[in-house]
Structure 1
Amino acid sequence: MPRRIAASRGWRRLGLAWIAGAFGALAMPPYGLLPALAVSLCIAVWLTDGAVSGRSLGRRAGPAFLIGWAWGFGFLTAGLWWLGSAFLVEADEFLWALPLGVIGLPFGVGIFYGAGFSAAAALWSEGPARIAALALGLGGAEWLRGHVLTGFPWNVLGMALGQNLWLMQAAASVGLYGLTVLAVLICAAPATLFDAGSPRHSYGPLAAAAILLVALALAGADRVGQADPAVSGVRLRLVQPNLQQDAKFRPENRDDIVDRYIELSDRPPEAGEATPTHIVWPESAFPFLIQRDPDTLAKIAAGLKPGRVLLTGAARADEPLPGERPRIYNAIMVIEPDGTITDTYDKVHLVPFGEYLPGFLDGALRAFGLRQFVAIPGGFSAGNPAAQRILTVPGLPPVVGTICYEAIFPAAIRPLGQPIDAARPPGLILNVTNDGWFGDTPGPRQHLAQARLRAVEEGLPMVRDANTGISAVIDPHGRITAQSAIDVETVLDADLPARIIGGTIYARFGDLLFAGMLVACAAAATARRKRA
């Protein structure tokens, strides 16, 4: 079979690559079938064997690129099909663009995988070293996918390991992209069992991969052996209102919306449980500018029990100069018991086409009457990427704000170009989001899984409040201590886990170890080519 796969040509080769990539998506959340990625990558290795065999170095890049692009196209199409749900919320306006999201995005982002396979082909050789070349190419490709053109690190290959409690612990040292290198080394190793010309099957690479996988699991199990303590004097209440993206969520319904939030916030706790000290409301809590509505702020202050501090998602407007349109920010606000807004965080990493139209397309698209999904005139403005993300909240350790899919970006809690303030280290990551656009699909589950990995990388608890779910409290080892169901109106009461004192290796050094892993893979692949 490996020889037949390697011998495929033309459209048959691309079709096999697409199918293999699509099958590999079963390794991503919420399915977590790691063997599916092994099958997928083994087929990719054999296809690349056939593409580079007998070709000079200069003639390898094109065929390898097409294999990688087709593989990535299939992987992303099968893993991100649920994006189509967002185009159906306001189908009369956005249905025409559904193919662009479901097919066009994977088609374009597949270019990164093509580049990764091309890089691997340049170092390709017979034997196990080509697995290192593939890990180098795909590890670099995934890093580029997370950074180029605002970045889109959704369902990075490292999530194949990053959703298992024991295996994800390696992210505390090497991060998501380091997990990607490990996942490729482990899952592509079985391809070497069938190397052509070998006098007998070689089990060495497979045995090494199995040992590596077991070692990661045992080290992870040891790391999560003890429970994390709770922060004293803190009891969280996460409000999940389950407000759908329909006509009810309009400014004219502000009173009903605010009343719903207050009613949920003031529900009595379960028998024997402590009274909440801090209330969290999700992203897009209000379809109006709460900062300019003193009556609503007074209503919130009167409606919440005395002493409770509110953290909420909300749109925020700055004060424009005369003749200028105000800039609108997607923000997190800290509202104290008297109704005063004492601190804010403005979202830095906006969703292209969801919250704004990219500058080079903005004029052209608006000329046709098109807009971004969130109906803000002109779209949201991005916050300052170099500003501190830390929110000061009475009764809580320093809070790092993240909004929506900002939680899928490794190292995103750090201000651009600046280290974390050692004198005031963060004590938790707050993520408010609205996954109501995607319904009961894999999307919200994938979002939760990726946010969960940020807690492990940084050694910080994650408090995640989602409009329609899934809301959760996650300790700094990635254990979910409280979780809501999806598409239900509910409140989630939980203690706040304490951070890991001293942080993690990844929190201190970022992707430095990942870069070292790429260098090691390049050295292994290059050494084999020199001997060949």
Structure 2
Amino acid sequence: MAITPSAERCAALLTRPWPRAAASALVGALPALTFPVPAWWWLAYVALVPWLLLIRSAATARRAALDGWLGGAGFLLAVHHWLLPSLHIFILVLAALLGLLWAPWGVLAHRLLSGSPGAGRAAAALLLVPSGWLMVELARSWEYLGGPWGVFGASQWQVAPALKVASVGGIWLVSFLLVALNTAVTLLIWPPGARTTGSAAGLAGVLACVLSVTAVWLWAPRPRSAGSVRIAVVQPGVFSGGSGPQRRFDRQEELTRRLAGQRVDLVVWGESSVGEDLGRSADLRNRLAALSRAVGADLLVNVDARRSDRPGIFKSSVLVGPDGPTGERYDKMRLVPFGEYVPARSLLGWATSVGKAAGEDRMRGTHQVVMRVPTRQGELRIGPLVCFESAFPDMSRKLADDGAAVLVAQSSTSTFQHSWAPEQHASLASFRAAETWRPMIHATLTGVSTATDAHGRTLGPRLGTDRSAAAVYDVPLAGGTSPYVRAGDWTPAGAAGCVVLYVCWRVVRRLKRRPVCKPGRSQPRS
């Protein structure tokens, strides 16, 4: 295939430092379009190809590392752009620092894809490039680095085969297969017009990804039906002129009273739905207990306040029955960096002056809790999560393993009301449900509130960011244990093993190539 003059000019431009740096950030940002709000899920199958092609064309491993770093920074900035009003310039610093995680991945991809790889190197690329990507996702998923928001596999939250794959290997297996597919396409299309063993491996890689998903679809077991419950979500919405705690509480109270006579088993309010500790306010306890009696069901509220029995401010899921708080309580364990606490506040406390970082750190809970809720059919066991804890697969997996029949996430993204954040957050419920075979309720203050069944399918109605309403869901329960809950995070563990073996092989190979100095002879100069 002849190379056109425009392609030659483009290639020449990419040899210059600044244009190439801009291109790296741009192609790295491209996968952000696969997540809500754009939700171009189909783009995920090729979204990494431009980035991989750029890394492949790097003249040196150092240049590939820079391409990986800048691409990673561009990706994080695009996925989290809605944090800009809260963190201001600090979001650029965070993106640049966390983007460094992709630098080793850039080197790895360059070594495996550059030039015209033979069959062995191409096959290794199909395994190691997605394995390296998973190591990056796993590292940045550490709660102190921001958590697993924007994991590549999450782009497939509406795709039934991907959700089935998640029930076997979690969201990590979905990410692995997506990156493997992108790697295969990269091998298949470059160099253009050339028939190489790498291209043949690329074609084989595409077919392998398709066959893997098909095999999982046919083999993976399905959860069994185990009855149903009626769960209501109360979303007060945004009030003109602000949404102070008292006005919000009054609206939630009004919406909850409308549920009387609808035979609900549980009513769920969003994160920070109660602004005063129930141990301090007899009035709040009495009002909530009266609501429980009027509706005929327990209320799961979320208290964001200074505790009366412990020092500090906690965010707590609290179950309230007809006689008041039942004693079932969960204190949020994983807090949002710079939103609910400032890491190393003595060093980074200045962030509170340039954004909306927490003025006072929230306190952490110590363990997860499975709550027992009395219903008309018997006892319902629920597993509460607060805010971005729904992004952590291990937390929902632990709750399912501990016996929770329904996962309940209480959230508030009102600070980011007109951004991509509410839709992105709500979409995570599909993966947590599919991974664990446990339906999930996602209740927010201002939208998006939703419910999903044990297969990850959305149940109606869905409360968007323009709604102030209460919604009742007939939630089908599921029995059995999903392969992912049973086996755990075997995908990232296997990926880590592959990367470690590759690095060891490279080290041994380099040592063998070193010249050996024989006795009586001087070592040759390099």
Determine if contact 2:429/2:441 at 8 Å carries over to the other structure.
Answer: no
Q: Report 1:91-110 matches (<5 A).
A: 97-101=87-91, 103-110=92-99
Partners of 1:111 and 1:184 lie apart in 2 by 19
Which of 154, 158, 161 is matched with 2:156 structurally?
161
Partners of 2:380 and 2:454 lie apart in 1 by 14
Number of the residue aligned with 1:309 = 298
Farther-moved stretch of structure 1 (348-357 vs 119-128): 119-128
What's the secondary structure of 2:88's corresponding residue? helix
- % of aligned pairs identical? 26
Which of 419, 431, 448 is matched with 1:453 structurally?
431
Determine if contact 1:161/1:183 at 8 Å carries over to the other structure.
Answer: no
Determine if contact 2:406/2:439 at 8 Å carries over to the other structure.
Answer: yes
Determine if contact 1:166/1:224 at 8 Å carries over to the other structure.
Answer: no
Q: Report 1:49-68 matches (<5 A).
A: 49-51=56-58, 60=61, 62-68=62-68
Which of 170, 175, 197 is matched with 1:175 structurally?
170
Supply the RMSD in Å over aligned alpha carbons: 3.5
Which of 50, 53, 61 is matched with 1:43 structurally?
50
Per the TM alignment, residue 121 of structure 1 is displaced from its structure 2 partner at its CA by 4.2
User: Does residue 280 of structure 2 align to residue 292 of structure 1?
Assistant: yes
Per the TM alignment, residue 228 of structure 1 is displaced from its structure 2 partner at its CA by 6.8
Determine if contact 1:166/1:216 at 8 Å carries over to the other structure.
Answer: no
Give the partner amino acid of 2:349. Answer: L
Per the TM alignment, residue 334 of structure 1 is displaced from its structure 2 partner at its CA by 0.3
What's the TM-score, normalizing by structure 2? 0.82
Partners of 1:494 and 1:8 lie apart in 2 by 57
Farther-moved stretch of structure 1 (491-500 vs 241-250): 241-250
Partners of 1:83 and 1:148 lie apart in 2 by 17
Farther-moved stretch of structure 1 (235-244 vs 110-119): 110-119
What's the secondary structure of 1:193's corresponding residue? helix
Per the TM alignment, residue 159 of structure 1 is displaced from its structure 2 partner at its CA by 2.1
For each residue in 1:201-245, what CA deviation from the matched residue of structure 2 results, as whole angstroms up to 9, or x when unmatched? 66534433443454455457668998974634x311100111459
Farther-moved stretch of structure 1 (289-298 vs 162-171): 162-171
Determine if contact 2:342/2:348 at 8 Å carries over to the other structure.
Answer: no
What's the secondary structure of 2:107's corresponding residue? helix
What's the TM-score, normalizing by structure 1? 0.82
Give the partner amino acid of 2:144. Answer: L
Per the TM alignment, residue 75 of structure 1 is displaced from its structure 2 partner at its CA by 1.6
Partners of 2:211 and 2:40 lie apart in 1 by 19
Number of the residue aligned with 2:389 = 406
Number of the residue aligned with 2:363 = 381
Per the TM alignment, residue 440 of structure 1 is displaced from its structure 2 partner at its CA by 2.9
Per the TM alignment, residue 466 of structure 1 is displaced from its structure 2 partner at its CA by 0.8
Give the partner amino acid of 1:191. Answer: T
Number of the residue aligned with 1:439 = 417
Determine if contact 2:303/2:318 at 8 Å carries over to the other structure.
Answer: yes
Number of the residue aligned with 2:322 = 337
Partners of 1:183 and 1:311 lie apart in 2 by 38
Q: Report 1:25-44 matches (<5 A).
A: 25-34=32-41, 36-44=43-51
Partners of 2:282 and 2:42 lie apart in 1 by 56
Determine if contact 2:388/2:411 at 8 Å carries over to the other structure.
Answer: yes
Which of 414, 427, 430 is matched with 2:408 structurally?
430
Structure 2 unaligned spans of 5+: 510-526
Judging changes above 3 Å, is the alpha-carbon distance between structure 1 residues 521 and 476 closer, same or farther for their aligned structure 2 residues? farther
Number of the residue aligned with 1:347 = 332
Determine if contact 2:342/2:358 at 8 Å carries over to the other structure.
Answer: no
Number of the residue aligned with 1:475 = 453
Judging changes above 3 Å, is the alpha-carbon distance between structure 1 residues 43 and 490 closer, same or farther for their aligned structure 2 residues? same
Partners of 1:216 and 1:341 lie apart in 2 by 47
Determine if contact 2:132/2:495 at 8 Å carries over to the other structure.
Answer: no
Give the partner amino acid of 2:473. Answer: A
Number of the residue aligned with 1:508 = 486
User: Does residue 15 of structure 2 align to residue 8 of structure 1?
Assistant: yes
Q: Report 1:490-505 matches (<5 A).
A: 490-501=469-480, 503-505=481-483
User: Does residue 342 of structure 2 align to residue 357 of structure 1?
Assistant: yes
Partners of 1:113 and 1:316 lie apart in 2 by 39
Which of 226, 231, 235 is matched with 2:227 structurally?
231
